[in-house]
Amino acid sequence: MDSTIAYIGIGSNLGDKLFNCKYSIDKINQLPGCNVSAVSAIFKTEPVGVTGQPWYANCVVELSTTQGPSQLLNGLLLVESDMGRIRKKRWEARIVDLDILLFGQEIIESDNLIIPHPLLHKRQFVLEPLYQLAPDLVHPVLKSTISQLLNKLPIRHRQTIVALKEER
């Protein structure tokens, strides 16, 4: 079976955020037909679109998968649920958030899945770690590289982000 390279955005702003990101990466790697091949640095990022929430830990993983996009989404939702995420309202604080950013060069628009992620090109907390993994990757809709999209972000969309160092 052919495999596809997918990029998953990971975020957490509740509990032990670093642990939550690392644990979710391990769980993604255990999904059937999924192999995490690269992980960006984990960034400390300011919440976007809301106030009064703790800052996030964000990263992006690259994975090779034999699953289809809907199967992968279901697996990611299961990881979120197993980690204790309960969806109540949009943009609430969360223990973990897993988003399919890109799935090969596929363009999908259904009721429960939009690929590429519709806000990918507007979010530095996604573009910065994605840039670490695949700066020359071309966005299938916008036809710009991740590097170009990151450089196009207006200053007002740039929130403070700091790469968190790995403790050894």
Q: Which residue do the tokens 């020359």 mark?
A: 136
Distance between CA atoms of residues 67 and 7, nearest Å: 13
Phi and psi angles of residue 66, each rounded to the nearest 5 degrees, phi first: -95, -5
Q: Which of 99, 123, 136, 158 is catalytic?
A: 99
Annotation marks residue 158 as catalytic: no
51 burial (CB, 10 Å; 0-12 / 13-18 / 19+) is exposed
Annotation marks residue 99 as catalytic: yes
Dihedral angle sign, alpha carbons of residues 15, 18, 20, 23: negative
Annotation marks residue 97 as catalytic: yes
Helix (H, G, I), strand (E, B) or coil at 136: coil
Q: Which of 2, 85, 123, 168 is catalytic?
A: 85
Q: Are 152 and 144 in contact (CB under 8 A)?
A: yes
Q: Which of 26, 82, 87, 97 is catalytic?
A: 97
Annotation marks residue 90 as catalytic: no
Helix (H, G, I), strand (E, B) or coil at 1: coil
Q: Which of 90, 94, 136, 168 is catalytic?
A: 94
Q: What residues act catalytically?
A: 85, 94, 97, 99
